[in-house]
Amino acid sequence: MGRENQVVGKIGEKAAIGFLKKKGYRIMHTNFRTIFGELDAIAKFGKHIVFIEVKTRATDSLGPPYLAVTGLKQRRIIKNALVFLKMKRLLDCDWRIDVVSVKLDSRYKPESIDIIESAVENVSY
């Protein structure tokens, strides 16, 4: 990942965390690493453990940020989530995966933030 993409990603993650906190999500972890990769954020929301993938774009050329959550990326998020749940002995809890889509303006300030709750459907593991 190039330096500019890293900067854009970090700005988006920070904006997403603030957005989630305002919506009532209780952030438990950020940038949680497993052998399969990284979970951007893990939160508690109501009775659910929520695994959050943040996608950020500073340009419209590639479409909305959430389109970057491909099938391969979804499978990796699921694997990461299951590792976390197993480590914390939470395999029997209610959980879901949300995607936060952050669009930045030309000065890298958040222009819009949207959330897709339960973005990854039909979780089979």
Q: How does pLDDT run across 68-102, given as a tens digit for each residue?
A: 888 899 999 999 999 999 999 998 999 999 999 99
Nearest-Å Rg of the Cα atoms of the chain is 14
| pLDDT value of position 125 | 46
Whether residue 108 is predicted with pLDDT greater than 50 in this model: the reply is: yes
pTM here is 0.90
| C-alpha angle 100-105-109 in degrees, rounded to nearest 5 | 70
| pLDDT value of position 123 | 52
For residue range 19-59, what is the model confidence (pLDDT) as tens digits?
Answer: 999 999 999 999 999 999 999 999 999 999 999 999 999 88
C-alpha closest to that of 8 among 118, 124, 104: 104
| pLDDT value of position 1 | 54
Contact 24, 125 (CB under 8 A): no
For residue range 9-27, what is the model confidence (pLDDT) as tens digits?
Answer: 899 999 999 999 999 999 9
Q: Domain 3-116 classified CATH 3.30.465.10? A: no
List the chain domain ranges.
3-116
Query: For residues 55 and 8, what is the distance between their CA atoms, to the nearest angstrom?
Result: 10
